[in-house]
Amino acid sequence: MTKRAAFFDCDKTVIPGSSLYLLARGMYERDFIRVRRIASFAWGQITFRLTGSERMGLVDDIQEFALGFVKGRHREELHQLGVEIARERILPRVYADMVRIIQHHESLGHETYLVTATPLEIAEVIAEGLGMTGALGTRSELDDAGCYTGKLAGPLLHGPEKSKAVEALAVEKGFDLTECAAYSDSINDLPLLEAVGHAHAVNPEPKLRRLARARGWPIHELRTRRRALLIGIPSTVGGLGLFASGIAVGMWAARRRGNGAR
């Protein structure tokens, strides 16, 4: 029998907003990082959503931020934190429709994978929570003691790197990619979407929406039934919601500083 799989982007596809921001906020509340760093990262996330495009400079900033807050921490410590924060902040935000799509693929005997730039340890926790087969994520370097060095052990799993990782997995597992499916919101994942026979656009940004229409790819618009939670903060409809989220982050940070938070 032909082996088939379905591959899912995480942010704005399986969940609204940024899983890395939700992780960072959970780590802040556990005194892992300072409010200045999380506020700065939040602003970068808001800028990305306002411009509708991903600048490599911003991607580099996100990478530096992610590596910085795990440096020196033991892998098991981050794994346990990831389990706690995923259950508390990430899994409750998963789109119900995406859960049904994942379950549908599994009912057909397809393997299901989360494919994301999020650290692999966190991606695995999210995938496990959703009952998926596994996850592909960004790998961080570990020293001999099992602590993070603050460097990557390979490329950031972003853009073309996602399709390369999926193609390598297909060779390993014996998947026929022409019979596989992929789901994403971003034009940056076009190499991944083009690598499979069944591409799906989920909450697509304008460029991907136009391309999906031109190519006849299914479009799943989930935001009409559940207002987008941008970076984990409830927002109003449309562009004003982005500014509201930014204000909310700033006010939240200010309140924590006023209460003597680090």
Q: What is the pLDDT of residues 116-175, one digit of tens each?
A: 988 888 889 899 999 999 999 988 888 888 888 878 878 888 889 999 999 999 999 999
For all residues of the chain together, what is the average pLDDT? 76
Q: For residue 109, count CB atoms less than 10 angstroms from its CB and return exposed for 0-12, middle for 13-18, buried for 19 or more.
A: exposed
Q: What is the pLDDT of residues 69-91, one digit of tens each?
A: 667 778 787 778 778 888 888 89
- Pick 257 or 185 by higher pLDDT: 185
pLDDT over 80 at 66, yes or no: no
Note the pTM of the prediction, 2 decimals. 0.75
pLDDT category at 251 given cuts 50, 70, 90 is: very low
- 189 in active site: no
- Exactly one of 9, 31, 143, 189 is catalytic; name it: 9
Q: For residue 92, count CB atoms less than 10 angstroms from its CB and return exposed for 0-12, middle for 13-18, buried for 19 or more.
A: exposed
- Pick 257 or 141 by higher pLDDT: 141
- 11 in active site: yes
Cα 146 to Cα 142: distance, rounded to the nearest angstrom? 5
Cα 123 to Cα 115: distance, rounded to the nearest angstrom? 8
pLDDT over 90 at 198, yes or no: yes
CB 173 within 8 A of CB 190: no
Q: What is the pLDDT of residues 33-64, one digit of tens each?
A: 554 444 444 545 444 444 444 444 445 555 56
Residue 208 vs residues 58, 60, 117, 194, 220: alpha-carbon distances, Å: 20, 23, 19, 12, 12
Q: Domains in the chain and their CATH numbers? A: 5-258 (3.40.50.1000)
pLDDT over 50 at 245, yes or no: no
pLDDT over 60 at 199, yes or no: yes
What is the longest distance spanned by two Cα atoms in the chain?
Answer: 62
